A and B are shown apart, each in its own frame.
Chain A
Amino acid sequence: MSEGIGARVARKEDKRFITGKGKYTDDIRMENQAYAAFVRSPHAHAKVKGIDASAAEAMDGVVAVLNGHELTGDGIGNIICGWAVSSKDGSPMNMGAWSALATEKVRYVGDAVAVVIADSQALARLAAEAVEVDYEELPAVAFADKALASGAPEIHHNAPGNLIYDWEIGEEAATDTAIAGAAHVTELEVTNNRLSPNPMEPRSAVATYDAAEEHYTLYTTSQNPHVARLVLSAFYNVAPEHKLRVIAPDVGGGFGSKIYIYPEEITCLWASMKTGRSVKWTSDRSEAFMTDAHGRDHITTAKMGFDADGKIVGFKVDTIANFGAYMSLFSSAVPTYLYATLLSGQYNISNVHCNVRAVYTNTVPVDAYRGAGRPEACYLIERVLETAARELGVDPGDLRRKNFIQSFPHETPVIMTYDAGDFDGNLDKALAAADMAGFPARKAEAASRGKLRGIGYSCYIEACGIAPSAAVGSLGAGVGLWESAEVRVNPVGTIEILTGSHSHGQGHETTFAQVVAERFGLSIDNVSIVHGDTDKVQFGMGTYGSRSGAVGLSAIVKAMDKVEAKVKKIAAHTLEASEDDIVIEGGEVKVAGTDKAMGWHEVGLAAYTGHNLPDGMEPGLKEGAFYDPVNFTFPSGTYIAEVEVDPDTGVTEVVQFTAADDFGTIINPMIVEGQVHGGVAQGIGQAMLEQVVYDEDGQLITGSYMDYTMPRATDVPFYTIEHNTTVCPNNPLGIKGCGEAGAIGAPPAVINAITDAIGTNDLQMPATPQAVWSALQTVKTPMAAE
């Protein structure tokens, strides 16, 4: 069986996971290891008037109790947001100070004020309870719209009215004019529910300070160890980069939540220096709900104008985004450059305007979660489109088709240039696979069982491989968004690939090997992928935003280009032929059209012995590359959800789910489909199950799996997956990216289906049984019962 691009190859990394031999951060135990437990605020907003740690310090086995004054006193810097977004009046965003251990004030339930280091985890937790903190409670606000209201409690003194920025994109006047002249205007208010990413592996860190070398080692659950090291070094002043090694070993899922550098990792590093012990911290699930960055949480009103022919003439959007108590690493970019720039959807719209107000509240910081801004954009557009189709009495597919962008490149009014796509083709494939023609019969059959059956679409487009670096830099990004690779061909011909991408479930050890093996005609068994260790791998940017294929693999291809060039020179020299006649295939380096050939391993050996190389050639066979994309990539697709609602209880079952995706070139369809399955399940979770709930006072109600509903096996169907490929013209392999599509496209399809079933459009996510039942109570005659 082929192992190259397009082959369904079983994963090389699986064996360690299925035998219990994976190596996750919490599995690591250092000599002389102590354990950290954090003293966390039970209040959403309070002044810290004093900390009495004497009882904890007196406990046998407690190594130290450390607080924020000591931390800042040692020069540990504040946690920052790395993307500067300015308000429309030109003023910079109002970033409030965030210390890893709070000193003057706590701003959300879970904000850490001190850390206990002790000989065991159990003891550290008991001692943390014995630390007495004198709080003066302050009024708190948990909801973004209330935080903006006059008289709301002020969370950061440098953010009057709790406003972080008031930002806009697009032409407001032109959009207003277009909508004013529209034949039909659809208005919709939507909330995008707040979510907790919930990778199954909780966050963990093990920090070790070597006093003799003045060197730190941090094992941590990170999607991007180099970015972690950079930020820990440059902003938090833990140590210079060459004195800090960050290792992200096996990581049990991320979904965005493990991009950021949190207070706990910083504190563990600093505490290991303070105590002379290795310091380990592992979150439990309750702590994860309280401290892992949340996602989404938008309140939006939108208006879309149509001409008499059903063509969209303008789209106006006003969004309030809840940022929580502090600005997390990429928080500012999520509801701006990752959200508003996608508000043209798959549609040819001349006028789009979006205003976004980012707001502090007394809640956990909010940042990118699988999809990050794009799910919010897609949900809004596709809910508005579906609503409009119902208001206009036209087929929702036809209304979309009428407005699809047909030629590429296409420049939207919100600064994106779509490079390729086939939106009609996506819709056609999805409609066929979902058997639209059979829907009325299925609906009637469901009605005979007393069930309300509905169907809903979503035509999503997203932007992945966020870049080029110069462009994102001009938009305020503090980093470049390229990727690095090094290809090391060993003297025996086997290959190690050092990549700046990080795999935490995506299967890079297999898919990257497939690309390399195909290029050089080798077995994937002869290729290994090295990642996740700043001492082993050159600086890289990590894995998020569906970028590893489009950006990370492109860097590998560039490095392979250089290797190939050198291999051809060596072979041409050895075989006495012209470089142009050398071809690499089937494990051999040959002179085309002759029987002259070297084994691949012989070229490696020649390179490393250096006995007979072309004049002036350096020995060795190892090449590196940095790849900076020229544009985002634009995966797109059509998703169709079919649901059945039990009108007696409101219980909704997703009975069919069809995805037709355009991801560009696919390396391993099995893995790509797995990404869609998981993304769709998270999308169904957002649509029907999941929501982080705070009460008015900022107390977290959904603090465990007792109250936060995770999708389980019975909550989701088998998925039907179709591919409709148009190749991305802007990277060497033609890849667009697939990691987030499911989470982006699924929620509107599900809600469109449920609202179709129940006959009212008045439904917000999550469509829990209670929410659906309540909505049904407002409908006199459900459609299916007619």
Chain B
Amino acid sequence: MSNVTMTVNGKSVSRDVPDTTLLSDFLREDLRLTGTHVGCDTSQCGACVVHVDGRAIKACTALAVSLDGSDVTTIEGIANGADLHPMQTAFKAHHGLQCGFCTPGMIMAGIDMVNRYQAEGKALTAEAIRHELEGNICRCTGYHNIVKAIEDAAGAMSGMAKAAE
């Protein structure tokens, strides 16, 4: 057992957990943040993607104890109060989800890719979005509307970034 202290969605949390506890289990079982999903056991599906210190990682392939002191954002933490994040809004507007199970990981991966491309000043084309979704599997949507949603959100996030400047 080790003590793990993190900032999750802006709040400091601390728990004693077995060293083998995966971040996905820590979030789901210890913090009861069940929006982060687990869809495979070999790190391919991406339903568990969260942000750790500003980068998207697979929560099923990281030990909670190794991320002691980190700043973690999950799907539950991206809306600003009642205002949804533009990526959330775009997924709804474009019907980018059906069963909803892969959706949290898709949204977290989507936000991460837009942030990275915008930081580098690169255009996030539809082709690039598909390539960036290498580690996120959806069985329902055939990806069409997910790609459209991320394209749309990228525009909105760019506007948001400009407004903040």
Contacts and interface: CB of A to CB of B under 8 A. Distances in A.
Direct A–B contact in complex, judged by CB atoms less than 8 Å apart: yes
Contacts of A716: 142-144
Contacts of A200: 37, 39, 45, 47, 99, 101-102, 137-140
Interface string A146-180: 00000000000000000000000000000000000
A714 B131 contact: yes
Contacts of B99: 199-201, 250-253, 504-505
A198 interface: yes
A235 interface: no
A1 interface: no
Interface string A655-670: 0000000000000001
A704 B44 CA distance: 9
B63 interface: no
B139 A706 contact: no
Contacts of A704: 40-42
A52 interface: no
Contacts of A742: 142
A458 B107 CA distance: 35
Interface stretch (B28-36, B64-72, B157-165): B28-36
* A18, A21, A122, A679: residue with the most chain B Cβ atoms closer than 10 Å: A18
A704 B41 CA distance: 8
A674 interface: yes
A286 B102 CA distance: 18
A677 B144 contact: yes
Which DSSP category, helix, strand, loop or mixed, fits chain B's interface?
Answer: loop
A122 B29 CA distance: 12
B74 A718 contact: no
Contacts of A713: 129-131, 133-134, 136, 143, 146-147
A291 B136 CA distance: 23
A625 interface: no
Interface string A245-286: 000001111010000000000000000000000000000111
B97 A202 contact: no
Given A200-B102, A704-B42, A706-B44, A18 B137 contact: no
* A15, A24, A714: residue with the most chain B Cβ atoms closer than 10 Å: A714
A286 B146 CA distance: 26
B97 A14 contact: yes
Contact of A682 (B20, B139, B145): B139
A506 interface: yes
B87 to A, nearest CB: 8
B35 A284 contact: no
Given A11-B92, A252-B99, A285-B39, A122 B20 contact: yes
B145 A674 contact: yes
A82 interface: no
A134 B30 CA distance: 38
Nearest to B99: A505
A507 interface: yes
B84 interface: yes
Interface string A19-54: 111111011010000000000000000000000000
Contact of A18 (B33, B91, B147): B91
A606 interface: no
A705 B45 contact: yes
B62 interface: no
Which of the four size classes fits the interface of chain B? 35 or more
Interface string A557-572: 0000000000000000
A677 B141 contact: yes
Contacts of B35: 19-22
Contact of B100 (A505, A671, A705, A712): A505
Contacts of B18: 122
Interface in B84-140: 84, 88, 91-93, 95, 97-104, 107, 126, 129-131, 133-134, 136-140
Contacts of B138: 200
B20 A505 contact: no
A701 to B, nearest CB: 14
A705 B103 contact: no
Interface in A692-749: 704-706, 710-714, 716, 718-719, 742
B137 A20 contact: no
Contacts of B42: 285, 704-706
B9 to A, nearest CB: 10
A23 B47 CA distance: 15
A678 interface: yes
A27 B34 contact: yes
A200 B143 CA distance: 14
* A13, A20, A676: residue with the most chain B Cβ atoms closer than 10 Å: A20
B16 interface: no
A705 B40 contact: yes
A689 to B, nearest CB: 12
A479 interface: no
Contacts of B100: 13-14, 16-18, 22, 250, 252, 505
B75 A253 contact: no
A428 to B, nearest CB: 24
B97 to A, nearest CB: 6
Contacts of B40: 284-285, 704-705
A14 B33 contact: no
A682 B140 CA distance: 9
Contacts of B103: 17-18
A705 B101 contact: no
Contacts of A253: 98-99, 101, 139-140
B137 A671 contact: no
Nearest to B40: A285
A122 B33 CA distance: 19
A436 interface: no
Interface string B42-85: 10110100000000000000000000000000111001000010
B94 to A, nearest CB: 9
A705 B18 CA distance: 27
5 contacts: A18-B100, A286-B41, A710-B44, A714-B133, A718-B126
Closest 4 pairs between A and B when the two form their complex, measured CB to CB = A20-B35, A252-B101, A17-B100, A681-B142
Interface of B: 18, 20, 28, 32-42, 44-45, 47, 74-76, 79, 84, 88, 91-93, 95, 97-104, 107, 126, 129-131, 133-134, 136-147
Interface of A: 10-11, 13-24, 26-27, 29, 122, 198-202, 250-253, 255, 284-286, 504-507, 670-671, 673-674, 676-682, 704-706, 710-714, 716, 718-719, 742
